Structure 1
Amino acid sequence: MTDVNNGSTADRLISGPTRAVGEVKALAEFVAVSDIAPTILHDVRYCVGGNFIGRPVNGYPERLCILTRPAAEALKAVQSELWANGYTLKVYDGYRPQRAVDEFVAWAKDLDDQPMKVEYYPGVDKGQLFTDGYIAEKSGHSRGSTVDLTIAEYGEETGEWESLDMGTDFDFFDVLSHTMNPEVGGQQRRNRLLLKTVMEAAGFVNLPVEWWHYTLQSEPYPDTYFDFPVARGALTQQNGSSKSPRPVVRQTTHSTSYGNTREKAAVSRPRPLRPSV
């Protein structure tokens, strides 16, 4: 999804002709989240077919989450608190190239392209996606300090990291995805409030219509929309090796998970970290 942002005369688009990913250089302030906080899980669906358009999205050649350094550092602080309590963040998307936003717009205008309707927008007429605000010509993600994410906890029985139940899946086009929708209650509401609480404490602001969508309030590029690909070759600073290390945190091992690939991990039993409702 993209948040509505009509922009202003001050808006800038940093782009250029399509080139090899190694030839497109991002600003030095952009980093790979896995280099800053390697314990964060990644489920980057836009580089594969498991997303609302049903195919890999233009601008996502790699399973990578890129953010501005201030946003990545703030996310690291959130991860540190959650990890100490037996939880972890799982990111779905961070920086999003303008070319990807353009593809979403083109997809939304093609009313015959609806193979993913049942899974992602069963109650919404595709012809109303613009009117209802689900798709827009600009996205805060393209400014580099917005992230889509959730929280996961270790399943004692499965031996895997399992996403907390938030009431809907990521990128579900429906009012049920509104963060404070009164129809979402019980544990699902508490899970959303947990995410909201830890993210806001680190300086992020939630988009009320998407429980997973957070933007760093002090984002460094509030009026600039970038268009380099989500690829390591586009970064001017590589913070560590191309492969994220398997970190040891309090004698806890953790392996990154992408999409449907899950790896077992051993963690200490979580301590309570739940806001009351």
Structure 2
Amino acid sequence: MRTILLAGLLSCVLPAPLPAHAASPLPDGFVYLRDTAPEIRQDIRYAGPQNFMHRPLAGYRAAECILTEAAAHSLRKAAKLAKAQGFDLIVFDCYRPARAVRDMADWSAAGAETDAAYFPRTRRDRLIAEGYVGRKSAHARGSTVDLALAPAGSNDGGRHAPSPCSRHDRQTSDFGTAFDCFHPFSRTASRDVSPAAQTARRKLLALMERAGFRNYPAEWWHFTLKNEPFPRTSFDFPIRER
């Protein structure tokens, strides 16, 4: 009788267990972009085959943009600036696990071919030496994003001028090259792309700088939060379903 009474008292005092979905799969300081800025379009390339490796990268278990909370809020500001000019932001990559960075480097060193769609003039085993692929990446710190502008509310970016890579990101504005085109024309300040593409790059650069990001000059699509919260830490947690 005493045992039954004690069990009843404990059941009244002890808190009920949290549901399984209540536990966040993210480290402190990280968020899913959909929870902070659902208006930003996502096309996470390394979670599928539409990338220079033609397969999902290690650690990409879901097509989700994860960022530090600070980067996500600043990106939301950039999205508002873009919307005021008639554009949406579309992100291609955000946080990248360190294991994916190693996957890229190992893959790049294991072949000698070129790829007309991604690296038309640089052999695969030269991608690291020529700076297109790194053995370390700012993406692993969680405050770096690859992105472009797209006409608001449209899945068609319109007519694109010929590009050195044999593909186009048709949903985006014309930036002169597609995302992850490993070619000198992808340098942000390149004058070898059309005037319209140069204008699109300047527009993206200006609004991202206003939102607190700095550009990597070799890639028009690559931006890192200036005051990133983890400037010396590379993370390796996998990207899981939100």
Q: What's the TM-score, normalizing by structure 2?
A: 0.81
Give the whole-Å Cα distance in 1 for the aligned partners of 2:227 and 2:92. 21
What is residue 167 of structure 1 aligned with on the other side? 176
Give the whole-Å Cα distance in 1 for the aligned partners of 2:194 and 2:173. 14
What is residue 50 of structure 1 aligned with on the other side? 50
How far did residue 127 of structure 1 move?
2.3
Give the whole-Å Cα distance in 1 for the aligned partners of 2:157 and 2:212. 32
How far did residue 135 of structure 1 move?
1.4
8 Å Cα contact 1:24/1:228 also seen in 2: no
What is residue 132 of structure 2 aligned with on the other side? 134
Corresponding residue SS for 2:116: helix
Between Structure 1 and Structure 2, whose CA radius of gyration is higher?
A: 2
For 1:202, which of 196, 211, 214 is the aligned residue? 211
Give the whole-Å Cα distance in 2 for the aligned partners of 1:82 and 1:209. 22
Corresponding residue SS for 2:39: coil
Give the whole-Å Cα distance in 2 for the aligned partners of 1:157 and 1:38. 17
Q: Percent identity?
A: 40
8 Å Cα contact 1:25/1:228 also seen in 2: no
For 1:123, which of 107, 121, 124 is the aligned residue? 121
How far did residue 23 of structure 1 move?
9.7
Q: Which has the higher helix share?
A: 2
How far did residue 158 of structure 1 move?
6.3
8 Å Cα contact 1:155/1:162 also seen in 2: no
Deviations, residues 25-61 of structure 1 (Å, cap 9, x unaligned): 4322100111111111111111111100011111111
Give the whole-Å Cα distance in 2 for the aligned partners of 1:84 and 1:158. 19
Question: What is the count of residue pairs matched by the alignment?
Answer: 210
Give the whole-Å Cα distance in 1 for the aligned partners of 2:126 and 2:178. 20
How far did residue 80 of structure 1 move?
1.1
When structure 1 is superposed on structure 2, of 143-152 and 84-93 the one drifting more is 84-93
Code of the aligned partner of 2:227: S
How far did residue 185 of structure 1 move?
3.6
Q: CA RMSD in A?
A: 2.4
Q: What's the TM-score, normalizing by structure 1?
A: 0.71
8 Å Cα contact 1:154/1:162 also seen in 2: no
8 Å Cα contact 2:96/2:139 also seen in 1: yes
Deviations, residues 166-224 of structure 1 (Å, cap 9, x unaligned): 00000110000000012124110000000000000111000000000000010000000
How far did residue 85 of structure 1 move?
3.1
Give the whole-Å Cα distance in 2 for the aligned partners of 1:197 and 1:177. 17
Asked which structure has the greater RCO (Cα within 8 Å, sep 6+), the reply is 1
Corresponding residue SS for 1:225: coil
When structure 1 is superposed on structure 2, of 56-65 and 24-33 the one drifting more is 24-33
How far did residue 154 of structure 1 move?
3.9
Q: Which stretches in structure 1 are left out of the alignment for 5+ residues?
A: 1-21, 233-241, 243-277
Q: What are the equivalent positions in structure 2 for 1:108-119 lying under 5 Å apart? A: 108-111=108-111, 114=113, 117-119=115-117
Q: Which stretches in structure 2 are left out of the alignment for 5+ residues?
A: 1-21, 159-169
Give the whole-Å Cα distance in 2 for the aligned partners of 1:157 and 1:43. 12
